[in-house]
Amino acid sequence: MAKQQTLNFFGTKRKADEVKEEKVSRPKRSTTPEPKVESKSPKSPKSPKIASPKKSTPVPSTATVCAETAKKLKEEGSDHWHGPLLYRTIVDTFEKIEATTKRLEITAHCAALFLSVLKSHPQMMATVVYLCINRLGPDYEGLELGLGESLLMKAIAESTGRTPAYVKTEYQKLGDLGKVAQSSKSNQRAMFKPEPLKAANVFDTFRDIAQTTGKDSQNAKINMIKRMMGACQGNEAKFIIRSLEGKLRIGLAEKSALVSLSQAFVTFEAENQGKKVNPDNITAGEEMIRDVFCQLPNYALIIDAMLENGIMRLSETCKISTGVPLKPMLAKPTKSISEVLDRFQDTEFTCEYKYDGERAQIHKTDSGEMFVYSRNSEDMTVRYPDLVSIIPKFAGEAKSFILDCEAVAWDRVQNKILPFQVLSTRKRKNVNEDEITVRVCIFAFDILYLNGESLLTLPLAERRQKLKEAFTEVPGEFLFAKSMDTSNVEEIQTFLDQSIKDSCEGLMVKLLEGKESGYEPSKRSRNWLKVKKDYIDGIGDSLDLVILGGYFGKGKRSQWYGAFLLGVWNADSEEFETVCKTATGFSEEMLQKMYDKLKPTVIESPHSDVSFDSTPANLPDVWFDPTTVIEILAADLSLSPVYKAGIDQMDRGISLRFPRFIRVRDDKGIHDATNSDQIVEMYQNQAALVG
């Protein structure tokens, strides 16, 4: 496979004075494919109506105006932002956001920061956005921080002259390593005032830390942290450490940052044209940037396109592209076939097998490079070399494409599907194709892009036709998802029963014709419904929950954790909320595996971002660092004074009744699991049915 090209992460090159700072020993940069951003594309049917300037009035690009504005500010010397962008400017905004819980105020503070950066340091916009949402780049680059507490406490102690015991005691008292770093730093005397931290260097160092591996990586990371800590002023240390821990804790959700970004661009462009901000353009800009981000989740590319052509042309200039995985379309659960028929009444729909494997998005670029991405945009190309090898067999003459598929464990002797548990035994790292024992078969069910053309807005029937025309089935390696077009209840039931016999989970039922049958990235849509055998007698869907704590077993189970405290993630509050305790569905073999997996993650006390009931009788015997996601099936949902998921004004959360373990979800990160909003929606839907 050809070597991937490095992505120009910042849109434009930084000036030398913005990156000149003390040198850090840097690892080799990771690489990502250089995606193609189309300059022309068909009009999106979802493009909102906007107030556009008169054609007779030539409007310079945002990038041109940004450069002129920055030059003027620097010449006047009247703006404290001239010169390199300082990290403290971003920290000032963090403090304002942390001081409020009002969503509109949070968005306004963030938008004000983005607008200021847009005026004076437009080339830093992507960096600032990533610092604000505490990310290091697009998901598919696979760069994460989330450093362990012990490493951070050691770095704080060494950089502030405190003892490790003192730092540990302060952490137990404050529950926030950022505050510990801040208090330790404020009591430290410096012989001379250090050079102020620059935002570019902070971000670059974060990325260096994330990419540093090997024998002496821990010491190398600590040394890089110490350099930053030594230059910290004011409250910078608090947010440096929080960012490194992966928990910024200011209440700024990514969806709010997207809104702020669109508001900043719309406002700047209006000011540039000497006009008042049009509220309709604010709304249109928010919708447009949200839709485009679902198709091309890369802030650097989107910001670069807006700087060059403006936000109102974003849907034309920034489209789905090979090499950049989009978030997949997801299905809503149903509890019965009659519910499916009620939803799709008087419409054409299709039923497909729901395969029990791993969601895979397969890309082939114009240059011939091939990539495989997971449902959460993780690059799985090196994990599936055997899959990459079979792409030429089924791709035919297709020059570029994006397929939505399911990778399923396959028995090549008996030509049948194997359980998901078999697939999960495949190695995740250092995979050698000659040593693979668990083979996969790809079941393709959708095509999103073909030979330079986005297919997202086409009806499913047309996409499916293009899929079958462009690709060829290869027995045991690449097959089309088995489907049936019918509206007969008995036929659907028979097809569901047959899918279970064929080792599938059930059925996917999808709208086949019309505008609504287009592919909706990153959306759990009512135009796709899923029907599983287990759903019919349960809540309608399984849940993917994060393990937060453990309870020691009794009797034969005394040597393991016999039960687990589970939670969901609330993106708005940036907290894990407890939702249930489960001890059902685990075999002794699985309990042993869970014990081996979780024991290294035991922590002395829960993280401060865990919301739980502190009544002693309800506390787990041990707390875990949240790392593991498991799939749970339950009878129904109920209100609870003990659990905190979706907690309402009466201090009652939502809990699961009779939760039962199904399997470990190694393919999901802790923030990709079921979230608090989904729990609330499921409870409301259940209540509506009962009512």
Asked whether 471 and 453 are in contact (CB, 8 A), the reply is: no
Per the CB < 8 A criterion, the answer to whether 349 and 516 are in contact is: no
Q: What angle do CA 674, 680, 682 make, to 5 degrees?
A: 75
DSSP state of 500: H
Please say whether the beta carbons of 331 and 505 come within 8 A.
no
**Spatial CA neighbour of 330 closest among 356, 355, 371, 359:** 359
Q: Are 655 and 645 a contacting pair, CB within 8 Å? A: yes
**Cβ count near 277 (within 10 Å):** 14
Whether the Cβ atoms of residue 581 and residue 566 lie closer than 8 Å to each other = yes
Q: What is the C-alpha separation between 225 and 135, in angstroms, rounded?
A: 17
Angle (deg, nearest 10), helices 236-245 and 199-211:
30
Catalytic residues: 354
CB distance 177 to 241 below 8 Å: yes
Helix 149-160 to helix 236-245 angle (10° resolution) is: 150
Whether residue 551 contacts residue 564, with contact meaning beta carbons closer than 8 Å, is answered with yes
d(CA 418, CA 411): 6
C-alpha closest to that of 643 among 612, 597, 621? 612
Q: Compute CA distances 595 → 136, 331, 548, 551, 644, whole Å.
A: 32, 33, 13, 11, 25
Contacts for 352 with CB less than 8 Å, ≥ 6 apart: 445, 481, 482, 483, 507, 508, 509, 510
Q: Which residues touch 156 (CB under 8 Å, ≥6 apart)?
A: 162, 167, 177, 180, 181, 184, 229, 241
Dihedral (CA of 178, 179, 184, 190) sign: positive
C-alpha–C-alpha distance, residues 78 and 27, integer Å: 39
Q: Which amino acid is at 88?
A: R
222, 228, 231, 232: CA torsion to nearest 10: -100
Residue 157: alpha-carbon gap to chain centroid:
33
Q: How far apart are CA 689 and CA 691, in angstroms?
A: 5
Dihedral of the alpha carbons of 291, 296, 300, 306, in degrees to the nearest 10? -40
State the Cα–Cα distance between residues 686 and 691, nearest whole angstrom.
9
The secondary structure of residue 139, as a DSSP letter, is G
Task: Locate 65 and state its tokens.
Answer: 């105006």
